[in-house]
Chains A and B, each alone.
Chain A
Amino acid sequence: METVTVTDVDDAEVVKRSRADPECFSVLFDRYFVPLHRYASRRLGGTTGDDVAAETFLVAFRERGRFDPARGSVRAWLYGIATNLIRGHHRAEVRGYRAYARAAAEPVYSAEEERVDARLTAAAAREVLVAALAELSPGDRDALLLVVWGELGPRGDGRGARHPSWHGRLPALPGASPAAGRTR
């Protein structure tokens, strides 16, 4: 069963009320712009991330007449809109992941050799993962990133993010042993 939080109910109420009183929609902006911006920027970076975050609310506002609380939370709905908008930029997104992984592969020198070593191991694992994002199909990438970057759990508040089919599609990672995974 889904857990319906108080915020979910409140958010749905805001959408409903905004149909008659449009201005109150800004409440959702105040609640969700920053996390949505984080999600969009991690996927797209730079001004495109800014634009997508802003556009998400414009689209949501225009679509507010169609929001159906029975189909999921407002939060999931907003992330869904952002995801659709991001998909329109998928070439830039993929280029970004590859560029990020290349740039991150440049070694960082530091006096504290041991810690550098640990950091590099963890960082290397992340680079490989980010680079691997570029190879996923758009649908799989959306499903995966909604969970790990959009913080929409695959179960809990998973309305809107189905259990993704990316499982097992990420490459085996040399640096991603349990120990490395817990390195901070």
Chain B
Amino acid sequence: MDELEQLARARPVAPPSAQTIARSRAALIQLAGGRPARNRRVMNLRARILVPVAATVLAVATGVAVTMLKGGTGAPNASPSASPSMPAAARAWDSANAPQLLLVAAEQAQQEEAPGTGTYWVSTIEHGWLIPTGAGNNQYTLRLRRTEITWKPLVPGKDVVHISRWAGAEPLSDGDKAAWRAAGSPTSWPIEPPPGCPPDPRNVYTAEPGGSERVERSAPDARLFMIANGESLTAEQIRALPSDPVALRTWLLSVIDPRDLRNPVETGKSLFEALVDLVLNTPITPAVRSAAFRVLAGVPGIRSLGAVTDAKGRSGVAVSIERNDTVQERRADPGGPREVSLVLDPNTGAVLGRQVRALRPADYLSWVPAGAIQQYDLIEHLRWTNDEPPATPRITDEPPATPTPGGQPTTAC
């Protein structure tokens, strides 16, 4: 093993700079903050709503649906609902039909004007998630919320600025509220320490929003936008994505990990998640968003949830896919099947967000009430601006180590 000993000592390297650590950590925190959360009940599951739409829109939409179904990618639930022979005024859109709902949204997205432009693309997204709390027999579920504002520069020489604002916590349901009252109506809850670490009484989640903001400014990586489990793209690449649905689908399939494309069911799920990433987290042009909806309309396994009220109380329509419902998925994640949905504003084709509902929570998620929205990312604003983000020093030194209300311990212990 002498060669190994020699080799073990060969090519020594310097440890990462504080800035490298801070920047890498900020990227992770941003992603982790930017992950699911949500917790209001989806209303009127699969209700059929009637939404009047312009006759031309419907005609175009239906035409495209037929094309896509011919292409072999149609959803199993697809059923034509609006007869072309109906009078235009009475023509209605059956929201239980996921492909059609998406194609209408696609039409609406296309009505939008020129692609936005500016120095920064700013997204404000509320994340919600659940944790179990309480003591002894009085366990209950808390909904936690955080607002994440991200400034991503689309011109060279500018920094990424990420602002994380605690948005409060509350018991999830009426039953949880009762348990919370029984526990003495606490206004803060201890954050469980990382496994292997002692508890730190300074780390709490507070009922009140606010407290200190976490602001991180860092030099951007060239590849600012991440989709499909790790494919990172520059702003230019995002803006140059094809607006032709077939080309967009082909491109997506080329960047998704082939291990996630082993059969039509997995392919459908992977496409769905990648498309949701794309419409939720990147500054695609209206034309590409429209194409993304058209691709979604043809994703195998996609379903309509019909009219929903999202966790922020906004009305929308949603399409969904089931995750974690196959044997392979459950082997890796025993938390039980869940429904991942994309919520849209049917009137504008705008994306409201992504919600994840626990269907039959199990194992490490067995404390989650069945049917609860376990996580959500809901868009408050997506905008372009030439303004500058709040001034704050670049991360050059130690990563922030001071715990804040609603914050998270930032060191291994």
Contact = CB atoms under 8 A, between A and B. Distances in A.
A65 B329 CA distance: 9
Contacts of A27: 194, 409, 412
A117 interface: no
Interface of B: 2-16, 20-21, 23-25, 27-29, 31-33, 35-37, 129-131, 192, 194-196, 221, 226, 229-230, 232, 324, 329, 331-333, 335, 364-365, 368, 374-375, 408-412
Contacts, number: 165
Contacts of A50: 16, 20, 24
**Of residues B28, B332, B368, which shows the largest number of chain A Cβ atoms within 10 Å of its Cβ?**
B28
Nearest to B19: A50
B8 A149 contact: yes
8 contacts: A7-B196, A38-B13, A41-B13, A42-B12, A50-B20, A61-B32, A126-B11, A127-B10
Contact of A19 (B15, B24, B28, B335): B335
Interface in A146-184: 147-149, 170, 173, 176-178, 180-182
A76 to B, nearest CB: 15
A181 B5 contact: yes
Q: How large is the interface on A (under 10, 10 to 19, 20 to 34, 35 or more residues)?
A: 35 or more
A25 B308 CA distance: 31
Interface in A1-59: 6-7, 9-11, 13-14, 16-27, 29-31, 33-34, 37-38, 41-42, 45, 49-51, 53-55, 57-59
Contact of B10 (A18, A49, A126): A126
B27 A54 contact: yes
Interface in A122-138: 122, 125-127, 129-130, 133
Given A42-B11, A126-B9, A181-B6, A23 B33 contact: yes
Contacts of A22: 32-33, 35-37, 129, 375
A77 B25 CA distance: 19
Say what secondary structure dominates the interface of chain A: helix
B411 A30 contact: yes
Given A37-B20, A122-B6, A129-B10, A20 B194 contact: no
Contacts of A173: 3, 6
A110 to B, nearest CB: 19
Contacts of B11: 42, 100, 126, 130
Contacts of B35: 22, 61
Contacts of B329: 66
Contacts of B375: 20, 22
Say what secondary structure dominates the interface of chain B: mixed
A150 B36 CA distance: 32
B196 A37 contact: no
Nearest to A170: B3
Contacts of A62: 31, 229-230
B129 A21 contact: yes
B229 A63 contact: yes
Given A10-B196, A62-B31, A178-B2, A23 B408 contact: yes
Contacts of B324: 65
Contacts of A129: 3, 6-7, 10
Given A129-B10, A147-B4, A180-B2, 16 more contacts: A14-B194, A19-B333, A22-B32, A22-B129, A26-B25, A29-B28, A41-B13, A50-B16, A51-B221, A53-B20, A54-B27, A63-B229, A148-B8, A149-B8, A178-B2, A181-B2
Contacts of B332: 65-68
B32 A23 contact: yes
Given A20-B374, A148-B8, A181-B5, A58 B230 contact: yes
Given A37-B16, A38-B13, A129-B6, A25 B32 contact: yes
B331 A68 contact: yes
Given A26-B25, A129-B6, A45 B32 contact: no
A6 B129 contact: no
**Of residues A9, A20, A63, A65, which shows the largest number of chain B Cβ atoms within 10 Å of its Cβ?**
A20
Given A126-B10, A178-B2, A26 B408 contact: yes
Contacts of A14: 194-195
Contact of B364 (A6, A20, A57): A20
A33 B21 contact: yes
A16 B4 contact: no
A148 B16 CA distance: 20
Contacts of B37: 22
Nearest to B407: A23
A122 to B, nearest CB: 7
